[in-house]
Structure 1
Amino acid sequence: MNEAESAKAAAMLRQAGYLQTVSENEADIVIVNSCVVRQAAEDKVAGKVGSLARLKRANPHVRIALTGCMVTGQQARLAERFPHVDLFYGPSEFDRLVEIAPELSEVDADLAELPHFYQDGAASPDVTAYVPIIYGCNFVCSYCIVPYRRGREVSRPMADIVTEIRQMVARGVKEITLLGQTVNAYGHDLPEHPDLADLLMAVEEVDGLERVRFLTSHPKYMSDRIVQAVADGSKICEHINLPVQAGDNEVLRRMRRTYTVEHYRERIASIRAAIPGVTIATDIIVGFPGETDEQFQHTYDLLEDLRCEKVHVAMYSPRPGTLSSRWEDDIPWAEKKRRHRAIEKLQERVCTERNQGYVGQTLEVLVDGFAKGRWRGRTRGNTLVFFESEGNWQGELVDIHVTESTPWYLLGEPPAAREAGHRG
C-alpha cells in the first residue's frame, strides 16, 4: 500500500511540473512515507526523518513532508520531535500536498475535494502497478496497529478503479495488483454492495491488461464467489495471498483473528480444488506472547502439511497502542529467532521440492526487468524466473522453458524461434 501511495504522490507532483531527483540534496521537496507495522520499521523512518534536519539547515527552502501510518493521530507529537518537517499528512490525504506544492491547485482546482483519490498521472511507465481499492481495516487483531492508524474500511467506487486501471494500461502497464489491508472486504460499505469478485470481473474486461492480482486477503472474507472469479478469469492470476499468522487455535483466539485452524485448512483445500495449479502465500508470526513450544509446533505442522509456495515469517514485536502490547513479551529473542529459522528452513525445503517440479515445463512469464545480464519476470503463480537472451523483452509475455531451479527462483530460456526474432 505504501508503495502505491508513494507512486501516486510522485505522479501528482510530476503533473505539477516537478521532476524526480536521484539525490535528496538536489530536491525542492522530500517526502518520507512511513510504515509502523513493526517497531524496526518505525525506528528506521524516525532515523531518516531526523537526518533530514541537516538538509534543512543547508537548504532552508527545501520542503519536507512525512506521511503514512506513523502520522495518524500523532501530528502534534511529531511536529515537536521533528520541527524541521514542514508537513505531516496521513495516509491517502493527497490533497494536503498542496501545502508544500501550491502548483497542484493549478493542475486540479478540486484537489481539496479529493482526499482519497487522484487518478490523473497515477500510472507509472512500469510493467506492473499497484491500485489501492480499499483503505483501512475493520478487524482489530490484537497485535496490529494498522486499524488505529488507517481507520475503518473505505472502499473506492468500482468505476473509479476501472478508470484508473484503463489509464495505467494506456501508459504501458500490463499487470496490476489490487491492494487493501483486507482486500477481499472490498465493497461492503458501497451503496450497491459489490464484492471483490464483481470488481475482478470488471477489471477482467479492461482491454490491453494482461494480468490481475490482489492482496492481502483475510480468511474470513475469502468467499466462494471470489475463488470462482479467480478460477474463471483468464487474466486473474492463480495466486492467493492468505495470511494464517498461527497454526494453533488458542494463539489465533488471542490474536483475535476470528477463524480457526480447521476453517483455514478447509479454505485452502477448497481453493486448491477450484483453481488448478493455484499457488498459496501466507504470513506467520512467531513468538507471540504466551506461545508455547507445543503451540509453535502446531504452526510448524500446519505449514508442513499445507506446503504453501511462499511463507513470510516475522518475529513478534509489540506495537504501542495495541492490545497485545499490554501483555508481557515473554518469549526470549533467542527463542523467537530459533522458531523463525525453523520455519525458514522448512520453507526452503518445501520451495526446493516445489520448484524442482517446474524443471522441464514451459511457463508463461511477464518480463518486468533486466539486471546483471539476465531478464527477470514472474509466472502467473508469482514464481520469480530469470533467463538470458539478447534483444528487448521488457513488458512481454513469453513462454520460458525451465532448465534449472533453486528454492527461490527458476532459470530458463525462451523458445529459440522467438529469441531469433528479437535479435533480428
Structure 2
Amino acid sequence: MPKKLFVKTYGCQMNVHDGERMAELLAGQGYEVTEQAEEADMVLLNTCHIREKAAEKVYSDIGRLRPLRAAKPDLRIAVAGCVAQAEGEEIIARAPMVDLVVGPQSYHNLPKLLRRMDAGEKVVETEFPAEDKFAHLPARRLRTPTAFLTVQEGCDKFCAFCVVPYTRGAEVSRPAERILSEARALVAQGVREITLLGQNVNAWHGAEGGLATLVRELAAIEGLDRIRYTTSHPNDMDDALIAAHGAEPKLMPFLHLPVQSGSDRILKAMNRKHKAEDYLHLIERLRRARPDLLLSSDFIVGFPGETEADFQATIDLVEAVRFGSAYSFAYSPRPGTPAAERPGVAAAEAHDRLLRLQAVITRQQQEAQASMVGRVLPVLFEKPGRMDGQMTGKSEHLMAVSVTGPAELRGQVRAVRITGALTNSLAGELAA
C-alpha cells in the first residue's frame, strides 16, 4: 500500500508550486497525497516567512500534530520552505517531534534526506547548493489545464521589509532551453496556460532579450494558448517586455506589479529604488501597449515612519491607477531585516489605514468585475464549480467565471457571456 502524504502550504504561488514539486518527488518514494492529515504517514508543512509571527504559526501547527503522533508513533513530520530556511536547527530544538527541516533551495534532495530520517536521524538541510536543483527534479505529471513553471528564483533587491533575499538567496535564472523543454512537456500533457514564476520574474536573464524573448518563444509552442508571469518588480519592466504586452496575444492582459506605497519618502525608506511618479509613468506605458490591461499590486501600510500624508499618497496612487485587485497588509517586522529595528506606527493606526485602503481596493475590484457584465469573454475551464452541474475557469483577466455546463468543458477555452458579478467571481453562460 502507498504511504500517505499530507502537505500544508502557506504563502505565495512559488510556495504552492514548491509544494507540488515536493509531492512529486515524494511520489517516487512511495507517497500518495491525501487531503486528510489524520490519514498521513508524513506531514509536510511548507512554510512562508513573509508575515509577522510566521514561525510561531508553524510551531502552533506542529503542536496540533501531537495527537496524531501519539496515535501513530511512526508519523513523520517535516518542515520545509522559508521558515525552515530561516529557523534551521532551532525548529528541532523547539519542536523535537519534527524529523526533517529542509529549505527551499534543497528540497530536490528529499529522497536522500528521507533515507537519513528513516535511519533515525534528525535531519536539517538549509544550504544553498551550487547545483541546479531543477536538474534533479522528476518530470512533471499533471492532469490540469494550467501550470506554474519556475523560471527565476531569489532576489537581489533587499527591500527593507523583506526576508526573501535571506531565505531564497540571490537571483538565479534558469536557462531558456530547459524552460522551453519543460513547457513543451506540460503542453503535451494537456496544459493550455502556463504562469512563469519568480521572486522577480521580470529580472529573468536566461537568454539575450530577457523575459520578452522567453514569452515570444513560449508563444510559438503549438497548443499553448495563454502565458502569464508573476511576481514582477517595477524596476525590471523593460521596454521589450512592455511592448510584448501589446504584440503577443497569448500574453494575458493581467499584470501583478507590486508598488508597496504611494509615498516617495516611504518608498525610499523601503529601499524600493523607484518613485510613485515612475510607477504611474510605467502604468501609462503599459496601458498604451495593452489598453485592456488589468492591474494588481501589493501594498504595505503602517511602515515605520509613515505619516497620514504618506498614507494619503498611497490612496492617491490607487485612485490614479484603478486596480482590478490588490493585496494589502499592515506592516509587520521581520527579524533580520533593516526595517525591523525602526520604531513602528501604532497598531491601531496601521489597522485603521489598512481598512481604509482595502475599502478603496474593494470598490475598484467590484467596478472592474461589473464592467465585464454583458461582455462575451474567452474562459479557460479548469474544474467543477461549487454547485452540481457547474464548471469554473478563468477569464483572460484572471477573474474566476462559473457557468452551467458539462465536465467535458475542462481544458477548453470557450466564449462565455457574463451575466453577473459576484463578490469575487463572475457568473455567465456559454455563448452560442
TM-score, normalised relative to structure 2: 0.88
In structure 2, the residue matched to 1:179 is 197
2:339 counterpart of 1:324 = yes
1:21–1:404 Cα change, 3 Å: closer
In structure 1, the residue matched to 2:112 is 99
**Which amino acid is the alignment partner of residue 418 of structure 2?**
V
1:24–1:390 Cα change, 3 Å: closer
2:379 counterpart of 1:361 = no
1:401–1:260 Cα change, 3 Å: same
Q: Secondary structure at the match of 1:92?
A: coil
Further displaced range: 9-18 or 196-205: 9-18
2:293 counterpart of 1:278 = yes
Cα drift, residue 223 of structure 1: 0.7
Cα drift, residue 362 of structure 1: 0.4
In structure 1, the residue matched to 2:412 is 396
Q: Secondary structure at the match of 1:392?
A: helix
Determine the C-alpha separation between the residues in 2 that align with 1:167 and 1:53.
Answer: 41
Post-superposition Cα deviations, 1:129-157, rounded to whole Å, max 9, x if no partner, equal 11111111001100111111111111111
Further displaced range: 41-50 or 288-297: 41-50
Q: Secondary structure at the match of 1:400?
A: strand
In structure 2, the residue matched to 1:226 is 241
Contact kept, 8 Å, 2:391 with 2:406, in 1: the verdict is no
Task: Write the mapping of 1:11-410 to structure 2, written as runs, cut at 5 A.
Answer: 11-102=24-115, 115-187=133-205, 190=206, 193-329=208-344, 331-373=345-387, 374-406=390-422, 408-410=424-426
Cα drift, residue 384 of structure 1: 2.0
Contact kept, 8 Å, 1:366 with 1:395, in 2: the verdict is yes
1:115–1:359 Cα change, 3 Å: closer
Gaps of 5+ in 2: 1-13, 117-129
Aligned residue pairs: how many?
A: 405
Q: Secondary structure at the match of 2:402?
A: strand
Contact kept, 8 Å, 1:138 with 1:152, in 2: the verdict is yes
Contact kept, 8 Å, 1:133 with 1:161, in 2: the verdict is yes
Determine the C-alpha separation between the residues in 1 that align with 2:329 and 2:107.
Answer: 31
Q: Secondary structure at the match of 1:408?
A: coil
Post-superposition Cα deviations, 1:311-368, rounded to whole Å, max 9, x if no partner, equal 2111111111111100112x22222222111122112222233322222210011111
Contact kept, 8 Å, 1:247 with 1:298, in 2: the verdict is yes
Contact kept, 8 Å, 1:119 with 1:164, in 2: the verdict is no
Post-superposition Cα deviations, 1:26-77, rounded to whole Å, max 9, x if no partner, equal 3232211100100244332221123334433433333222110112253221
Determine the C-alpha separation between the residues in 2 that align with 1:40 and 1:34.
Answer: 12
Cα drift, residue 209 of structure 1: 1.5
2:17 counterpart of 1:4 = yes
Q: Percent identity?
A: 35
Cα drift, residue 113 of structure 1: 6.0
Determine the C-alpha separation between the residues in 2 that align with 1:15 and 1:67.
Answer: 18
**Which amino acid is the alignment partner of residue 352 of structure 2?**
R
Contact kept, 8 Å, 1:8 with 1:118, in 2: the verdict is no
CA root-mean-square deviation: 2.1
Determine the C-alpha separation between the residues in 1 that align with 2:221 and 2:255.
Answer: 21
Determine the C-alpha separation between the residues in 2 that align with 1:231 and 1:278.
Answer: 10
Q: Secondary structure at the match of 2:104?
A: coil
Further displaced range: 25-34 or 50-59: 50-59
Contact kept, 8 Å, 2:54 with 2:83, in 1: the verdict is no
Determine the C-alpha separation between the residues in 1 that align with 2:208 and 2:99.
Answer: 40
Contact kept, 8 Å, 1:401 with 1:414, in 2: the verdict is yes
Q: Secondary structure at the match of 2:227?
A: strand
Cα drift, residue 82 of structure 1: 1.9
Determine the C-alpha separation between the residues in 2 that align with 1:123 and 1:211.
Answer: 19
1:370–1:156 Cα change, 3 Å: same
Determine the C-alpha separation between the residues in 1 that align with 2:108 and 2:406.
Answer: 45
Contact kept, 8 Å, 2:59 with 2:95, in 1: the verdict is no
Q: Secondary structure at the match of 2:151?
A: strand
Contact kept, 8 Å, 1:36 with 1:42, in 2: the verdict is yes
Determine the C-alpha separation between the residues in 1 that align with 2:244 and 2:349.
Answer: 42
Contact kept, 8 Å, 1:69 with 1:90, in 2: the verdict is yes
Post-superposition Cα deviations, 1:211-268, rounded to whole Å, max 9, x if no partner, equal 1110010000001111122222232111111101000100000000010011001000
In structure 1, the residue matched to 2:6 is none
Determine the C-alpha separation between the residues in 2 that align with 1:411 and 1:345.
Answer: 23
Post-superposition Cα deviations, 1:80-126, rounded to whole Å, max 9, x if no partner, equal 112222211110312321235449xxxxxxxx965344453424222
Determine the C-alpha separation between the residues in 2 that align with 1:292 and 1:53.
Answer: 45
Determine the C-alpha separation between the residues in 1 that align with 2:363 and 2:67.
Answer: 47
Q: Secondary structure at the match of 1:280?
A: strand
Determine the C-alpha separation between the residues in 1 that align with 2:184 and 2:329.
Answer: 36
TM-score, normalised relative to structure 1: 0.90
